[in-house]
Chains A and B, each alone.
Chain A
Amino acid sequence: MSQVRFKSVKELEEYRRSLQSASGFPRLISISSASCGRASGALKIASAFEKSIKEFGLNEKVKLKLTGCHGFCQFEPDAIIFPEKYFYPNLRPEHVPLIVEETILEGKMIPELAFKDEANQKVYLTVDELPFYRKQLRWLMDFHLDLDPTSLDDYFRHEGFKALGSVLSSNKPEEILNIISASGLRGRGGAGFPTGLKWRLAREAKADKRYLICNGDEGDPGAYMDRGLLESNPFSVVEGMIIGAYAVGAEKGFVYIRQEYPLAIERVEQAIEKAREAGFLGEDILGSGFSFDLELVRGAGAFVSGEETALIASIEGRRAFPRQRPPFPVVRGLWEKPTVINNVETWANVPLIIRQGPTWFSRVGTEKSKGTKIFSLVGQVRYTGLVEVPFGLTLGEVINEVGGGPKNGKKIKAVQTGGPSGGCIPASMFNLPVDYESLNQAGSIIGSGGMIVLDESTCLVDMALYFLNFASLESCGKCAVCRIGTRQMVRILKKISSGEGEISDLERLEKLGWTMQKGSLCGLGRTAANPVLSALGYFRAEFEKHIVDKECPALVCQKLIAYEIEPEKCANCQLCLKACPYGAIRVGTDGAPVINQELCTRCGVCYSTCPPQFSAIRKVSWKSLEQNDDKRPGGN
């Protein structure tokens, strides 16, 4: 149970030994219970297990754990049963008594409830067999499978605070700087700056005070690596920061988390409090004479606040406006003092590097990108979730092997990486290794780890418009180049997507993009045009199709498509007729429903309402409509 304040490394290690010798449970049921799991009903599954365990009188035999995110979020709620690591996907409460009876009591997996690959009907029983997990290298995320994120004791059992103990008892700060540099660790938040060097610059800056910041703003919409880490293993971030503070000579640190992540905030708040009670934060940590404390700061909803100078302004209680760099935060940061700001995943890697040594760490990866990287693999791919892979795996391996390849028989055409600051990379280049330099050369970035797979049902004009719209809404407005540039680009892209673009618009987009890259104050504006420029580079023909033929090949851009009912498939159930919000579907002369194109706004409700066994409504290019007389369908 909650121990007292540790006064020395020796006390800590003795305590750890006492924990490890205490007899454990023969079985463990682990339920993926981060925000995503909870949204899918993980807590209901947990209480069903609790009830069933009691009914079978198994309280002494099995431990039930609510862990963080297992990563295979698409198949949540899921349970993993140890020691075999049996994997039960998509659980429902009624499955639970059966699992307790068969698997917990008898040790047998129930194949009917196991993971089945729809493509070949193959059944996979354990986590280690699953293709989704097999190609991963889960240095950080393996903890998420069996660690209780709210328990300090459980963190101790997973070697928690061992790295801190060894640092405080046997290393000088200088040595830590050398270890981190030698490991080759680079920032996981976007730019990939060498972490050891960043720390050294802050240590060497002359000052009476230094600060640390953990950047948990995770502004990239469509990515959630940091939420996963903060909810699943908050102590590792806290431990990483204490080690960093010792190396840099900082006395105070801040963990900045976006307010859209309430569970992450709760977890980190708890972790800080428990770490303080146990003597890992505060005065004279583990009797070493070194003092450091942490505070949590909640973001308030602004993408730009993830940019380091804006984030600093936000912590100071001001509007999150970025400022000109240099001076960089390592020289002049929070309250003008040298400040090291690192991403959540960067901090989480620190205890691992200390425990395993820099050579162990740097043996994995490519020449300049070392270790592993967590990606949020989402979009039009079969398996979506959080994945951790070694740098150097190819894009194709991540998307087709870990991600299981294309969905619904469609063809994958590109992957978007790096979010609003990144770009798309066409499928023809999927043999590129995933590392900072390769993706840069391809016109994109690793960014913080967003990987959104796009298939032929996504339109690159629509994607470009989406990102520019995002950038223009999130532009803080301080510099005119970004404020006006993003708006102009949105205007032009809207024109193109509604079939009113001109060929010269493409050049205009490129010029605007170039100006923004050169002239913007901060990274937001400098990178905002990347999604457009990379799409124009690789998929120019798609833009031209919108402009010249006034057609959207992916059938996404609303103004260029139409819906049609195929009479031979229609069963005349009339669900679409009732569902159409605009009264655009009427019964035709032959008694079957038809769409009045004048009234149709192409909202798509009928398309999603038509029962799948009929699939009688299809999306078509407006040009293919029979009554087409070069006028687009009506509506707004």
Chain B
Amino acid sequence: MKNLGNKISIVEKILQTLPGERRYLVHFLHLVQQATGYIPEEILPAAARHFSVSPSEIFGVVTFYSAFSLKPHCQHEIVVCQGTACHVRGSGAIMEEFSRWLGVKPGEENLEKNVLLKPVNCLGCCAIGPVVVVDGQLQAKVDLKEVKRIAEKLTGESEKRE
């Protein structure tokens, strides 16, 4: 894990590559989210100076879009598509089942198991739903009975690493 000081210096480097125009703000947040895994609140003042807006404005932007998070996320991520095509093929029940196995509500994380359970509106693979993305790997036509195996495999792995 990189420490906060390290992160701030990463963020400062990113800032240097971007013009101080407001329209680069969302792009900047994407880059920070990618580089550090979240948007550390501590960087808001520096970013605010750079883009000449108030820190609270940036806070508003960060919290508005679901792509950004103010907290570091877990090592693992299970994304369950809740789009219409997946819904009519039973993705709601799949989400509930994940939720139960991982002991968290959709959108929340289980810190012990180091996994985030995330709903998404659609991944554009609607013809092969229900779609679940496990640590970046897209799985098509997922059946309710596979949930247990997917969840156990993932969390089992994370336990081994610790």
Contacts and interface: CB of A to CB of B under 8 A. Distances in A.
Q: Do A and B come from one complex?
A: yes
Interface of A: 35-36, 38-40, 73-74, 76, 218-224, 227, 259-261, 297-303, 314-320, 376-380, 384-386, 416, 419, 450, 452, 454, 458, 463, 466-467, 470, 474, 476, 579, 581, 603-605, 607-609
Contact of B23 (A317, A581, A604): A317
B121 A318 contact: no
Contact of B86 (A222, A297, A416): A222
A301 B118 CA distance: 13
A301 B30 CA distance: 11
A604 B129 contact: no
Given A39-B140, A319-B64, A603-B96, A221 B145 contact: no
B22 A74 contact: no
Contacts of B49: none
A605 B145 contact: yes
Contacts of B84: 220-222, 379, 416, 419, 450, 452, 466-467
A416 B83 CA distance: 13
A401 to B, nearest CB: 17
Nearest to A377: B127
A378 B93 contact: no
A474 B122 CA distance: 13
* Nearest 4 A/B pairs, CB to CB: A222-B84, A300-B65, A221-B83, A301-B66
B124 interface: yes
A227 B128 contact: no
A301 B65 contact: yes
B93 A74 contact: no
Contacts of B129: 378
Interface string B81-102: 0111111111001001100110
Nearest to A477: B64
A74 B144 contact: no
A149 B120 CA distance: 27
B128 A579 contact: no
Contact of A260 (B60, B64, B88, B124): B124
Contacts, number: 152
B25 to A, nearest CB: 4
A39 B66 contact: no
A379 B88 contact: yes
30 contacts: A39-B128, A73-B128, A218-B122, A218-B124, A221-B84, A221-B122, A222-B87, A222-B122, A223-B126, A224-B122, A224-B125, A227-B124, A297-B26, A298-B30, A299-B67, A300-B65, A301-B67, A315-B23, A317-B21, A317-B22, A376-B126, A463-B88, A467-B84, A470-B121, A603-B93, A603-B96, A603-B97, A604-B90, A605-B97, A608-B143
Contacts of A259: 30, 67
Interface of B: 21-27, 29-30, 51, 60-61, 64-68, 82-90, 93, 96-97, 100-101, 120-129, 131, 138-140, 143-145, 148
Nearest to B129: A378
Given A297-B27, A319-B60, A603-B97, A221 B144 contact: no
A573 B23 CA distance: 62
Contacts of A377: 127
Contacts of B51: 317
Contact of B30 (A300, A452, A467): A300
Contacts of A319: 60-61, 64-65
A261 B126 CA distance: 13
A517 B65 CA distance: 26
Contacts of B61: 317-319
A608 B86 contact: no
Given A36-B128, A317-B25, A376-B126, A454 B67 contact: no
Contacts of A608: 143-145
A320 B60 CA distance: 11
Contacts of A315: 23
Contacts of B138: 35, 38-39
A36 B127 CA distance: 8
B30 A73 contact: no
A73 B86 CA distance: 14
Nearest to B33: A300
A39 B131 contact: yes
A384 B68 contact: no
Given A300-B30, A301-B65, A301-B67, A261 B85 contact: no
Contacts of A476: 64
A45 to B, nearest CB: 15
A224 B129 CA distance: 13
Nearest to B101: A581
Contacts of B88: 379-380, 452, 454, 458, 463
Name which of B61, B65, B84, B124 has the most chain A CB atoms within 10 A of its CB: B124
B85 A378 contact: yes
A379 B145 CA distance: 20
Contacts of A314: 26
Name which of A300, A380, A608 has the most chain B CB atoms within 10 A of its CB: A300
A318 B54 CA distance: 12
Nearest to A582: B100
B145 A609 contact: yes
Nearest to B61: A319
Contacts of B27: 297-298
B115 to A, nearest CB: 18
A604 B90 CA distance: 10
Given A222-B84, A419-B84, A452-B88, A316 B122 contact: no
A604 B144 contact: yes
Contact of A223 (B122, B128, B143, B145): B122
Contacts of A38: 138
Contacts of A470: 121
A224 B23 contact: no
A301 to B, nearest CB: 4
Contacts of A385: 127
Given A35-B138, A317-B21, 20 more contacts: A36-B124, A36-B128, A39-B139, A73-B127, A220-B122, A222-B84, A222-B86, A223-B122, A260-B120, A299-B67, A300-B30, A318-B22, A376-B127, A377-B127, A384-B127, A419-B84, A603-B96, A603-B97, A607-B144, A609-B145
A218 B124 CA distance: 9
Contacts of A39: 125, 128, 131, 138-140
Name which of B65, B88, B145 has the most chain A CB atoms within 10 A of its CB: B88
A486 to B, nearest CB: 15
Contacts of A450: 84
B23 to A, nearest CB: 5
